[in-house]
Structure formats: C-alpha cells, structure tokens
C-alpha cells in the first residue's frame, strides 16, 4: 500500500497515477505544485481531471473534497483555463 493512500481523498487509483509521475511520498506531493502535476500528467498522456486536483488540494489540508474553499477551486480552475487541454 502506498503512503499516499493514508491521505484523505487519495485512493489507490490516485496514488498509482501520482506514482506514474514520480510522486511516491506525502512529502513529494506537498513539495510539488499543482501546475507541475498537471504538466506531468499531460506529458505522460493522461487527461487531467478537476476532481483529481480537488482531491489533492483537500488531502493536503486533511479535509473532505467538499470542503475546499472557493479560492482553492479557483486556483484549480485556472490550470484548466490556461491550458489547451
């Protein structure tokens, strides 16, 4: 089992996806900004998903995905509006 799955909102599938872009630990996840994760996913041919990013954002502050703030949602939305993806 991955250390990442000990975080709220991060299940096995999300952890495997993060591992595909060389994020294997909670510390690595904390030190990687969302934009970098987005770009890495695109580079490996994975279409980024807003809910995946909501889950990461919430996990990093130990909250349920439904508890992320409008500012956090806006930051994630900016990833998608600034991308051609």
CATH number of the domain within which 62 lies: 1.10.150.20
What pLDDT shows up at residue 85?
A: 59
Range of the domain at 17: 3-81
Helix axes 70-81, 50-59, angle to 10 degrees: 140
**Pair 79, 41: CB distance under 8 Å:** no
- pLDDT of 29-55, one tens digit each? 999 999 999 999 999 999 999 999 999
pTM for this entry: 0.90
Q: Going by C-beta distance under 8 Å and a sequence separation of 6 or more, which residues neighbour residue 75?
A: 34, 57
Total domains in the fold of the chain: 1
What pLDDT shows up at residue 82?
A: 80
In this structure, what token pair is assigned to residue 21? Answer: 């872009």
**What pLDDT band is residue 60 in, cutting at 50, 70 and 90?**
very high
- Angle CA 53–59–60, to nearest 5: 95
């Amino acid at each position: 089992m991955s250390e990442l799955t000990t975080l709220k909102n991060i299940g096995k599938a999300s952890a495997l996806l993060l591992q595909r872009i060389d994020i294997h630990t909670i510390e690595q996840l904390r030190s990687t900004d969302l934009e970098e994760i987005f770009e890495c996913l695109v580079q490996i041919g994975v279409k980024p998903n807003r809910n995946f990013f909501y889950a990461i954002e919430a996990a990093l502050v130990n909250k349920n995905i439904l508890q992320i703030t409008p500012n956090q949602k806006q930051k994630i939305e900016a990833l998608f509006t600034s991308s051609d993806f």
